[in-house]
Structure 1
């Protein structure tokens, strides 16, 4: 049997990869796709979607707790097993549905991570295949903590599938994954500790807004150990002991489970990129403005694995998928030029951000107007008995355009989308204030933030 040749071979079946594969197949190209895990990628299987289902029940708990004595008599109790069954309704069908969708467009499917043999040749499932174009869309994976006892560390996806919620949990890393899961666990009854290498959680986010989330997390019962480096994990009879270094001293803490939430790195280890002359860097596959590899022009990369400079978020992966798809089908004609991208941390309260922080705006020498206020007395927060509601907006004084917006509060995740519209549409603050929004809504509040 001869070597099979494809016009396009896609590695990765998440948002980015399957989008390219389907577009190219519909355009009449011979396409294959491969994945070494269940089809569908991180977001729907073991990431944002199942996480948001778990967050949903904590929103009920939070609201009922806030309104206790104001019409609510008792806060509800959580049944973790029932919650997991509910979450599985969203997750369990994804792999089969993804494969059915891809098969319907005539795409050949492989269930292994391919390895490069040369610039246009791959080895997969014991077969050798060639392709005119190879698309790398393998996403990110948890960063390994190279410490003794690391085999005892659980990953973020393990948290999503815990049959029983551990009574005590340690999270190593206070990025958005660690913070979100810590809030879920704490509200569902676990005693939570977060060990963080830096001096605060969520280092890339606006410090003045993050401090409100830190305080709210502590009030929830989450214990932070900042400026600390985990150095060893030891399995005891019924617990795990984590040793960490802080201020030159080695200290330790015990818990029933320890999760590595220290960050994610490009999932490229298994690809043998050197054999394919595929250049890569710390943030992933090196690409030009067309999302084409800088050394192997037969290779494109999109999604979290692409070192494009964009945020590793699912909506960004969709955009990069669209760009790669166009450039494969029509020649390099579409460059990567993304609008401002919002980020949301689904803790309670939510933290949302878009654009520049105050320091970043100063570093770029903008002449800025900064508005920074805590407003729990505003109606929307007050009616929900929310004690945390604050914002910081950064406006270019010369053009009166919004450079950045940072919000913490119950409606932050939806409100930030209105700032996306304002920034992408280049609306001035006067334009925004002149609009009439529905009232009383969280969205209407943004007019008071600029």
Structure 2
């Protein structure tokens, strides 16, 4: 067998006759779980992957990838609508055909479970369907089956947070929203984060009346307030109601739909009410106490190597680990860290220092690095470069009016501390800033970069000028 750098690694053919012992049992078949499983199997380990739902994980089946399919169709219709007075005949009448878009989305998602399971089998990994539950620190039950493991990876992702709201059981999830066969006439989204804004923007383009309820005055609090304010104005102009400082106290059935009652006396009605108040690690059914796996406030207690502080056999990655932002690239990063620590011993720590993120509204908003508030705390005298981009050629030709930037530059060194963008190509351009930050480029270095013109990237020099 290959030299894994781990003298305790077992030959995959030396497991128990009933196939019940593995070097590694992975709980979850998403981005993190699959990457660790295939890496360790390639090193000669015996590996099983246990999945309680369809094989493939949240991102591929119920998250970012199917969402982006809907977004692409919605963005195309919005682009045509904005350009209708400028040469797109019939563009003003276009809207997102939800049923057709749903069929298009399923052309991506439907093949995933079978393909993922087949690829695991081809790699020599044992796929197991069912709910895993620890019986002891090294033993799990999956139905009637018993698995023992030298190591266990918890990569079960996240689930909607449990809410102390009367009637919370009536809430639909983002999974439900993305699986809708037809868009309801109206919907209410509880919470003002990524899920609420992304779903509302899709629903509005499909002809629904959408309402977002936020319990304070800071929706999309992860992003810069000035950019959020511009997006909020654009959101409301679409006909989406955004109700701020409305704390939800009760959800009840009313007629054929639902009523959402807030503490300030306001009530909102919709045919569907969607949970947008965050997600938490999906750990509830794993029997962690029997496995000696410690938790704290609903999160796994992990050391700097993504290993359980109480059971050194157990590691975690991705949303289940909840150490970095809840993003697919973070899950991939965690997976690489865990695989290396399993195969070579615990020497590698995750690095979440430069992680770009985006909210896929229309227009989208993207961010990387420090916020202005944090930059001012850590770097007195930080230089803030900000402005409107609606008049830039690459933006103006799309018809979009909501576009802006804010860049944070360190005093003295000129290093880029943070970049925050709103506009049509924000998610792509933010990657350039992330690369520059990773490479230690200064603002002057980046401003001298030659780019294809005219493009979103070519705006960088103007932002930094």
Q: Same fold (TM over 0.5)?
A: yes
1:380 and 2:394 correspond: yes
- Give the 5 Å matches for 1:385-396: 385-396=399-410
Residue 113 of structure 2 aligns to a residue in which SS?
A: helix
Residue 285 of structure 2 aligns to a residue in which SS?
A: helix
Task: Report the equivalent of 1:299.
Answer: 314
| CA displacement 1:69-102 (0-9 Å, x = unmatched) | 1112322243221111111100001111100011
Residue 203 of structure 1, CA deviation: 1.1
- Give the 5 Å matches for 1:230-269: 230-246=248-264, 250-269=265-284
Residue 274 of structure 1 aligns to a residue in which SS?
A: coil
Which of 429, 432, 436 is equivalent to 2:446?
Answer: 432
Residue 197 of structure 1, CA deviation: 1.3
| Structure 1 unaligned residues grouped into runs of 5+ | none
**TM-score normalised by the chain length of structure 1:** 0.96
Contact kept in structure 2, 1:287 and 1:307, CA below 8 Å: no
Which of 1-10 and 88-97 deviates more?
Answer: 1-10
**TM-score normalised by the chain length of structure 2:** 0.93
Residue 413 of structure 2 aligns to a residue in which SS?
A: coil
| CA displacement 1:203-257 (0-9 Å, x = unmatched) | 12111111111111011111011111111111122221111112xxx32121111
- Give the 5 Å matches for 1:261-280: 261-280=276-295
1:7 and 2:23 correspond: yes
Task: Report the equivalent of 2:114.
Answer: 96
Work out the number of aligned pairs and report it: 446
- Give the 5 Å matches for 1:1-400: 4-75=20-91, 76-246=94-264, 250-282=265-297, 284-308=299-323, 310-400=324-414
| Structure 2 unaligned residues grouped into runs of 5+ | 1-16
Which of 125-134 and 7-16 deviates more?
Answer: 125-134
Residue 282 of structure 1, CA deviation: 3.8
Contact kept in structure 2, 1:143 and 1:262, CA below 8 Å: yes
Structure 1 distance, partners of 2:246, 2:206, is 26
- Give the 5 Å matches for 1:416-427: 416-427=430-441
Contact kept in structure 2, 1:281 and 1:307, CA below 8 Å: no
Residue 159 of structure 1, CA deviation: 0.7
Structure 2 distance, partners of 1:431, 1:39, is 45
Task: Report the equivalent of 2:416.
Answer: 402
Contact kept in structure 1, 2:353 and 2:369, CA below 8 Å: no
Residue 458 of structure 2 aligns to a residue in which SS?
A: helix
Contact kept in structure 2, 1:111 and 1:125, CA below 8 Å: no
Contact kept in structure 2, 1:3 and 1:128, CA below 8 Å: no
Contact kept in structure 1, 2:71 and 2:360, CA below 8 Å: yes
Contact kept in structure 2, 1:286 and 1:307, CA below 8 Å: no
